[in-house]
């Protein structure tokens, strides 16, 4: 079964770094130099529901990540060797746990690095890529199974319809177990209009830069951990202050709040909880010289 998925691509002009050039030369017969090669990045597909009512789950994207390096780039899936001017030399999966797709899965996108030769024949294409004219892309691949997102049956074997809501989530076809990747093409109309354009500068990072990126990633993870702890603290305080409140509803109210507002709300819940359930240590009375043994009475 062949599936074509379309998505906007991100384009970044430039020459390859040493790491990029080493990856590119795995596919070339002669050793290419940085001056001979033009490189850019594309977002091939993601795990969001597209215009066709179909979706790659994250596990399918991971499989495609290993299938696309070395695959050619064409125009409009022509299948003509004369249209072979680009090639994917590396692919990676970019995940954003803080962003959810419509089906509720953490967002992920399959991205690729592409090269073509700097030549008179390709000069117009390079200018079109730099200008944002050549922008949208589509992929062609094969998958083993296409199933219904609602019931899990083979697509077409049930009565569920694409786009119709079931349990507040739209029905769609889930593309599972990719078996091959064929090519990607520049196209005019992408199936996934929400795709962002990648403008991140390609560069060769020094060890110092790598350390800074690692520290930055660590700080982000620390911030996420602290926010999860703050949210849980607010939910516990809210459960005490508002014992009749459903936790799911309370969480849906608290989760979107900025950290400062969430901290303020948590403190408010704690004050109300303290009034409703004043907690006084049994031995508190012993601190008073006049209390006698009253503080120890059970």
Q: Give me the chain's average pLDDT, please.
A: 82
Contacts of 73 (CB under 8 A, 6+ apart): 84, 85, 86, 87, 88, 114, 116, 183, 184, 185, 186
Sign, CA torsion 25/128/68/220: positive
Query: From residue 288, how far is each of 25, 278, 291, 293, 298 by CA, in Å?
Result: 82, 20, 5, 10, 18
Mean pLDDT per 10-residue section of the chain, whose length is 298 residues: 53 74 93 92 92 92 95 86 89 91 91 93 90 88 93 92 88 94 85 41 50 69 84 89 86 87 89 73 54 59
Q: Domain-by-domain residue ranges, the chain? A: 2-186, 207-277
Q: How far apart are CA 52 and CA 4, in angstroms?
A: 10
Neighbours of 61 (CB within 10 A): 23
In the three-class reduction of DSSP (H, G, I as helix; E, B as strand; rest coil), residue 128 is classed as helix
Q: How far apart are CA 193 and CA 50, in angstroms?
A: 8
pLDDT value for 37: 94
pLDDT value for 207: 59
Four-CA torsion 255, 259, 261, 262, nearest 10 degrees: 50
Bridge partners of residue 42, in order along the sequence: 112
Nearest Cα residue to 41 out of 184, 178, 143, 142: 184
Tell me the pLDDT tens digit for each residue of 105-119: 999 999 999 999 999
pLDDT value for 197: 29
Contact 139, 63 (CB under 8 A): no
Tell me the pLDDT tens digit for each residue of 160-172: 999 898 888 899 9
Contact 111, 90 (CB under 8 A): no
Contact 50, 192 (CB under 8 A): yes
pLDDT value for 75: 87
Query: From residue 246, how far is each of 36, 116, 232 by CA, in Å?
Result: 63, 57, 14
Q: How far apart are CA 57 and CA 190, in angstroms?
A: 19
SS3 content of the chain, % helix, strand, coil (to 5): 35, 30, 40
Backbone angles phi, psi at 246, to 5 degrees: -70, 135
């Amino acid at each position: 079964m062949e599936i074509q998925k379309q998505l906007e691509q991100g384009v970044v002009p430039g020459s390859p770094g040493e790491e990029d050039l080493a990856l590119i030369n795995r596919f070339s017969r002669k050793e290419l130099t940085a001056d001979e090669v033009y490189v850019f990045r594309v977002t091939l597909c993601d795990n969001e529901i597209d215009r066709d009512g179909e979706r790659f789950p994250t596990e399918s994207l991971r499989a495609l990540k290993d299938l696309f390096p070395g695959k050619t780039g064409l125009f409009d899936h022509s299948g003509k060797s004369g249209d072979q001017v680009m090639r994917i030399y590396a692919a990676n999966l970019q995940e954003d746990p803080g962003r959810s797709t419509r089906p509720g899965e953490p967002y992920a996108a399959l991205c690729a690095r592409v090269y073509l030769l700097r030549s008179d024949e390709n000069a117009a294409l390079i200018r079109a890529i730099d200008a944002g004219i050549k922008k949208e892309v589509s992929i062609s691949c094969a998958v083993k199974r296409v199933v219904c997102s609602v019931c899990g049956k083979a697509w077409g074997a049930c009565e569920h319809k694409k786009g119709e809501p079931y349990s507040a989530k739209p029905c769609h076809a889930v593309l599972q177990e990719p078996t091959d990747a064929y090519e990607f093409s520049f196209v005019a109309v992408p199936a996934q209009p929400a795709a962002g354009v990648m403008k991140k500068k390609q560069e060769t990072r020094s060890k110092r830069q790598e350390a800074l990126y690692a520290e930055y990633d660590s700080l982000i993870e620390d911030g996420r951990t602290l926010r999860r702890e703050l949210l849980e603290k607010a939910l516990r305080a809210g459960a005490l202050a508002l014992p009749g409140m459903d936790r799911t509803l309370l969480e849906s109210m608290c989760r979107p709040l900025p950290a400062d507002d969430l901290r303020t709300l948590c403190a408010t819940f704690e004050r109300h909880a303290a009034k409703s359930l004043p907690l006084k240590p049994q031995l508190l009375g012993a601190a008073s010289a006049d209390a006698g043994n009253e503080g120890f009475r059970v």
